[in-house]
Amino acid sequence: MAVHTIHKISSEGIGYSLADLSDVRHVFAAAVPRRGTTLREQADDALRIIETVNGAHGSLGSIVHQAVFVADASLIDECRQIMHEFYGPDLPATSYIPQRPCEGRLLAIEALGMGRKRGEAEIERISEQLVIVRHNGIAWVHAAYILPQTDSTGAYEQAASAFGQLRALLAGANVRVEQIVRTWLYLGGILAGEGTTQRYKELNRARSDFYEGLAFLDGRLPPGHPRPVYPASTGIGAEGRGISMGAIALVTERPDIVAVPLENPRQTAAYNYAGSYSPKSPKFSRAMALSCGDYATIFISGTASITHSETRHPGDPAAQTHETLDNIAALIAEENLAHHGLPGLGTSLDGLGLARVYVKRQEDYARIRAVCEERLGELPTIYALADVCRPELLVEIEGMALSHKAPSPQPRDKAPQGTASKKAKVKSQK
């Protein structure tokens, strides 16, 4: 079982966690504005929170990836301008997501900072869409806010175009699609009908077609690992009728870096769903574990109140939240990690470094948050309004877990030969 080495603080709209894995420090921050009425005032407050946290616990200028949740898509252009002004040349890869923060603010920000405890990681900022972090022979490639280049409003055409843009963006940095470990797919009108089908089903069809023939993580998998293999992913609703994407890829030549897609013992693999859910099943793994010796990072896909392939607790947001967290706990547990060939690297909900909670209905927010705070404690968490991929699902949760294998117990010194018999002799003489 892994040991927990994450320090977490969360209160009054400020949440952050720190984790040192090997010589790399991870800083996760979630910021909801505490003051201000205009977008600029609220954005300034949230950004100052992140700057303060990162300056105190990471290193200034080390934010590499952020997600900005906005109350309305019409605010994105102004929000982008604010981000450019604030960060300047240190702008992270930034996604702008039209999902209203549940707290009623105009925006909320989730940020990831990475740096080394001794010296700095090398950060290459190619654009606001692409940032690469290099350390110890590993390159983390953060791609954000990938948009389709098409006039079509059809989900299949939009998704196919966006996937093509993602491929081109990565190729410009000599990164292949097959090296992706985590994706985010934000689809406007996810449950809306489209012709005789549904927009989410059309997204799944486009993803299946795009992934056809791709050997994900070839060379990173344990020997003999079965295929198919797919990245961890979240497919979630957003305002409007558009689509945007984000991704993280891993590039390394180190033979000790192993990628292991995780499936959940409580759930059917999504790519094995029956055709009644989608003619072409959702192609993603429930999580992706990346191990390096005694350390692991686990990207947890969007998870909901589903066991096997059936929705549980329809109409009950609190029960759905508990079921969702039970699924995540089972997914990252030691028993499941050992089953997937990573003994000692399992963890619990305490091992989470951050989470996102997607809430379908504003009226359920308080009940869902209460369950999350009870189960997750102090954890940087974003709560955003978003439609989930089934009409009866009221909540979806994703996150990232970090684990460190407990050191092997040291054998006790053996007693010198004859000691036991001498003790027995002394005792007998008393």
What Å distances lie between residue 296 and 5, 292, 351, 416, CA to CA?
12, 6, 11, 40
Distance CA(265)–CA(310), nearest Å, equals 14
Asked if 146 and 246 count as a contact pair (C-beta separation under 8 A), the reply is yes
The amino acid present at 417, given as its one-letter code, is: Q
Which residues touch 106 (CB under 8 Å, ≥6 apart)? 33, 38, 39, 42, 43, 70, 71, 75
The alpha carbon of 250 is separated from its chain's Cα centroid by a whole number of angstroms, namely: 14
CA–CA–CA angle 223, 226, 230 (5° rounding): 110
Instruction: From 20, 9, 66, select the one nearest 297 (Cα to Cα).
Output: 20
Which pair of tokens denotes residue 179? 């090296």
Q: Which of 128, 239, 396, 398 is catalytic?
A: 396
> In the annotation, is 396 catalytic?
yes
Q: Which amino acid is at 377?
A: G
Decide if 161 contacts 149 (C-beta within 8 A): yes
Crossing angle of helices 76-87/39-57, nearest 10°?
Answer: 40
Please state, as a whole number, how many other Cβ atoms lie within 10 Å of the Cβ of residue 253. Answer: 9
Q: Which residues are catalytic?
A: 396
